[in-house]
Structure 1
Amino acid sequence: MKLSRLIPFLDDTVSSWALEARLLRWLSLIWLFIGLAVLFSASYPVADVKHGDGLFLFKRQLITVFLGLILFNIIVNLPFHKIIGVSHWLLMLFLGLIILTLIPGLGTRGVYGTSRWLAIGGFPIQPSEFVKPFLVLQSARVFGNWDRLSWGIRIAWLGVFGFVLLGILAQPNLSTTALCGMTVWLIALASGLPYKYLGGSAGAGVLLALMSVTVNKYQRLRITSFINPWDDPRGTDYQLIQSLLAVGSGNTWGSGFGLSQQKLSWLPIADSDFIFAVFAEEFGFVGSVTLLVMLAVFATLGFIVALKAKSVIYRLSAIGITTLLTGQSFINIGVASGVLPTTGLPLPFFSYGGSSIIATLIATALLIRVARESNEAEVVPIRRQPPKPRRERRFLHRNKF
């Protein structure tokens, strides 16, 4: 692999990619640059107050974006079978890191007593973000080979998937658990798994969600505030109300880039969970619809790649990654718009967070790699020698009649 291919925007092979791969790459880069611009606007007031530098969070995000783009370029140029061949090791690695977050003294505590981060070298990482793309790959690998696997191997991998979901749920992180669980379930559905297994796993998932809501008070409050957001406007409902005010203030064309008022200490978590509200306020209804259309186009391209995939595992991987990225985006937008209960899911490519942006770039690169391998014709070397005439005459003689 040439060194230039590791540097963002210097990959000279892009022009030879399949159409779907090139379109997905351009959409991803546009999505990323829009997200960075909105993050610059949304994070400036918070960073200025907390760190004395309005660009503090934005500069940190740029560093992780650069690292993520290098990984992005490596992945889009690696054969997919090599990537999926190590997916089980990477899944086990991040499962181990998720377990470490639950150990007192190792996991970094956040709001509501959550423990979702590990501090490595002074930088916090969130293993539940990194595990997502590799959970998709290994799920595609297992369910794509389901009929060829023994029951022992099937149960072992189902147990691993269950431990990943339970580990994330124990942090607690119900929204990420639900997103990962639904993605794995849809991969199993697309693979043709019998409905009796799908129904049982869906029922178990609903039961776990109900248990989590019962145990964690803040999750119950999020549901009640969603049902009646005006019941406690200065307490548990404050966040959602401020988000709705931001979205409504955008009107048709928005207040203009950088001119959001709600981000000025009114809207909590404006740089991450509720960054769409800032986007909607500054770019209005037209900007919001444009973003939704872009997400719909991305999802359509992802499912086209799945339909054209050359193997079941490739197809399931494309379905899983497309569901993961666009599903998380629509959930985040639904939360900020008051359509869904409040969650902690970030908006891909928009929200502040190094783990989230790197994991998103990895997932996008995997989808583009599937598109490249599923749609490009085999290239025959130009110096390949034609068959010798004597052999051709013998072949024709043998097949004359």
Structure 2
Amino acid sequence: MRERPNLVQRLLPLPWSLWPAEARLLIGLTALWSLAGLIVLGSASWWVALREIGDGAFYVKRQAIWLIASWSLLGLTLSTSLRRWLKWSGPALWIGCLMIAATLVMGTTVNGASRWLVVGPLQVQPSELVKPFVVLQAANLFAPWNRVGLDQKLLWLGSFGGLLMLILKQPNLSTAALMGLTLWMVALAAGLRLRSLLGTAVVGAGMGITSILLNEYQRLRVVSFLDPWQDPMGDGYQLVQSLLAIGSGGLAGQGYGLSTQKLQYLPIQNTDFIYAVFAEEFGFVGSMMLLLFLMLMAWAGLRVALRCRSNQSRLVAIGCCTILVGQSILNIAVASGAMPTTGLPLPLISYGGNSLMSSLVILGLLIRCSLESTGLIGGRTSMRERVSRKSR
């Protein structure tokens, strides 16, 4: 008599014993990243939540709820064929463009930027939620580039350009730059001509410079980045406090929960500048461990890309890896003064449900690419038939 599979086995797209090593590593790293992010957020947000709301665990509890919902989305991503995700990506990208355009008309403005739509009790940030579909549609376009008609090329390149322009209009230069970099990396991996890619890079840099010149607050951020101590109590205050927090960490850090800069000095310490709190509490050793963790994620992602059986899935893996690791590096660079101050969260660590959901869907797509590289799922034949056929 055959043993009936339990609930977990029924939900998994492939039996655990058949998962590739890269997929097992990635799911483990994702779980570790999620748990560590919740712990770091607890320290960074406790004092602010206690002072402003009266409940020190307020942000942690809300993030935990979002984390459960986001892991459910990761499970849905794993159980859905990559071919189906690629089919949905085009319409989803256009819906994302419409939602981003809506933020310019009826969005909530915070610190001079209109990036959020209020839907009942929720704040939706479309520029975060559209990230997975940018990766998917980029793979749809660039994988068969030489076989795609000129009309389709112009349609989707125009769609990508329109999306970036709408995000710049919010204004949100950091997210636009990250998406532009991801598109560029996917196109490079697809083997497009270097001359075309260099031209695109020049156009993208021109759009970024134009945005800085047209938006005063972005221009002030660039000036304060060059010399934050010129105005340490004004435009340079945020970066100065972040650098003081990182420098105070020393070799081994002040210890978990013992950051002093988070108390009343460092602004936005539970979102964009959460890395500064982490560096102060865990020091140089903790920062190096975080960078090594990101290197391991990048290595695992590239291993998945090399094992993929189709160009589309390979480009999806490269895009997912670029957007996750790239965003993490950009956030760390901003907090440490290597780049002008921008509004990019640290994936799975910074507070925010939209970023959390987007990041875990992207990780789900990367793991799904690894699972489909086995050839046991993703084709027209069902998984059960392929597994039973293999067991014979």
Same fold (TM over 0.5): yes
1:91 to 84, 90, 93: 93
Q: Structure 1 226/64 Cα, relative in aligned 2: closer, same or farther at 3 Å? A: same
1:135-154 alignment runs, 5 A limit = 135-154=134-153
1:54 aligns with 2:53: no
Show the counterpart of 2:22: 20
Shift of 1:77: 1.9
**Which residue does the alignment assign to 1:346?**
345
Q: Quick one: which of 75, 80, 85 aligns to 1:78?
A: 80
CA distance 1:183–1:6, change in 2 (3 Å): farther
CA RMSD, 1 decimal: 2.0
Question: Does structure 2 retain, via aligned residues, the 8 Å contact 1:252–1:285?
Answer: yes
Alpha-carbon offset, residue 382 of structure 1: 5.6
Equivalent residue of 1:118, what SS?
strand
1:110 is matched with 110
List runs of 5+ in structure 1 lacking aligned partners.
Answer: 386-401
Q: Is the CA contact (8 Å cut-off) linking 2:14 and 2:371 kept in structure 1?
A: no
- Indicate how the Cα distance of structure 1 residues 384 and 226 shifts in structure 2: closer, same or farther if over 3 A, else same: closer
Rounded to whole Å, the distance in 1 between the matches of 2:59 and 2:122 is: 13
Q: Please state if 1:381 is matched with 2:383.
A: no
Structure 2 counterpart of 1:34, one-letter code: A
State the SS of the aligned residue for 1:381.
helix
- On the 8 A contact 2:376/2:387 being kept in 1, the answer is no
Contact 2:246 2:277 in 1 (8 A): yes
Q: CA deviation at 1:11?
A: 9.0
Q: Distance in 2 between matches of 1:237 and 1:125?
A: 30
| Within-5 A mapping of 1:205-224 | 205-224=204-223
Alignment check: 8 A CA contact 1:133 1:321 kept: yes
Matches of 2:14 and 2:186, distance apart in 1 = 34
Counterpart amino acid of 1:109? T
* Structure 1 residues 257-288: Cα deviation after superposition (integer angstroms, max 9, x where no partner): 11111110210000000000101111111111
Q: Structure 2 stretches of 5 or more lacking a match?
A: 378-385
Q: Structure 1 residue 145: deviation in Å? A: 1.4
SS of equivalent residue, structure 2 residue 261? coil
- Alpha carbons of structure 1 residues 364 and 384: separation in structure 2 relative to 1, 3 Å: closer
What amino acid sits opposite 1:98 in the alignment? I
SS, match of residue 116 in structure 1 = strand
Q: For residue 3 of structure 1, report the CA deviation from its aligned partner.
A: 9.4
Q: How many residues are matched?
A: 380
What is the rounded CA distance, in whole Å, between the counterparts of 2:261 and 2:8 in structure 1?
41
Structure-2 separation of matches of 1:242 and 1:383? 59
Deviation at 1:16, TM superposition (A): 2.9
Cross-structure match for 1:131: 130
Q: Distance in 2 between matches of 1:142 and 1:170?
A: 25
Separation (CA, whole Å) in 2 of partners of 1:363 and 1:29: 14
- Aligned-pair identity in percent equals 48
Match in the other structure for 1:44: 46
Query: Which letter maps to 1:110?
Result: V
1:206 Cα offset (Å): 1.0
Within a 5 Å distance, the mapping from 1:1-400 to structure 2 comes to 4-5=7-8, 13-103=15-105, 106-111=106-111, 113-375=112-374, 379-381=386-388
Contact persistence 1:6–1:70 (CA under 8 A): no
SS at match of 2:116: strand
Determine the C-alpha separation between the residues in 2 that align with 1:343 and 1:384. 53
8 Å Cα contact 1:225-1:231 kept in structure 2: yes
Q: In the alignment, residue 362 of structure 1 is paired with which amino acid?
A: V
Q: Is the 8 A contact 2:188 2:197 kept in 1?
A: yes
Hey, what's the Cα distance between the residues in 2 that align with 1:153 and 1:377? Answer: 32
How far apart, CA to CA, are the structure 1 residues paired with 2:391 and 2:292? 46
Answer yes or no: is the 8 Å Cα contact 1:140–1:316 preserved in 2: yes
Query: Does the Cα contact within 8 Å between 1:275 and 1:347 map onto a contact in 2?
Result: yes
Helix, strand or coil at the partner of 1:156: helix
Equivalent-residue separation in structure 2 for 1:203 and 1:25 (angstroms) = 37
Three-state SS of the structure 2 residue aligned to 1:263 is helix
* 3-state SS, counterpart of residue 260 of structure 1: coil
- Give the partner amino acid of 1:185: W
Residue 4 of structure 1: CA displacement?
3.8
Letter in 1 for 2:108: T
CA contact (8 A) 1:7 1:73 kept: no
CA change 1:162–1:287 in 2 (3 A) is same
TM-aligned CA distance change 1:236 to 1:6, over 3 Å: farther
Tell me how far 1:164 sits from its aligned partner: 0.8
Superposition TM-score, scaled by structure 2 size = 0.93
1:264 aligned counterpart, secondary structure: helix
Structure 1 residue identity aligned to 2:52: K
> In 2, distance between residues paired with 1:47 and 1:350?
16
**In 2, Cα distance between the equivalents of 1:12 and 1:143?**
29
How far does residue 15 in structure 1 lie from its aligned partner after superposition? 3.9
Say whether the 8 Å CA contact 2:13–2:78 is kept in structure 1: no
State the Cα distance separating 1:153 from its structure 2 match: 0.8
Deviation (angstroms), 1:69 = 0.4
Distance in 2 (CA, whole Å) between partners of 1:133 and 1:158 is 17
Does the CA-based 8 Å contact 1:5-1:11 persist in structure 2? no
Q: Distance in 1 between matches of 2:344 and 2:209?
A: 19
Task: Note the C-alpha offset of 1:20.
Answer: 0.3
Cα distance change of structure 1 residues 188 and 59 upon mapping to structure 2, 3 Å threshold: same
TM-score (norm 1): 0.91
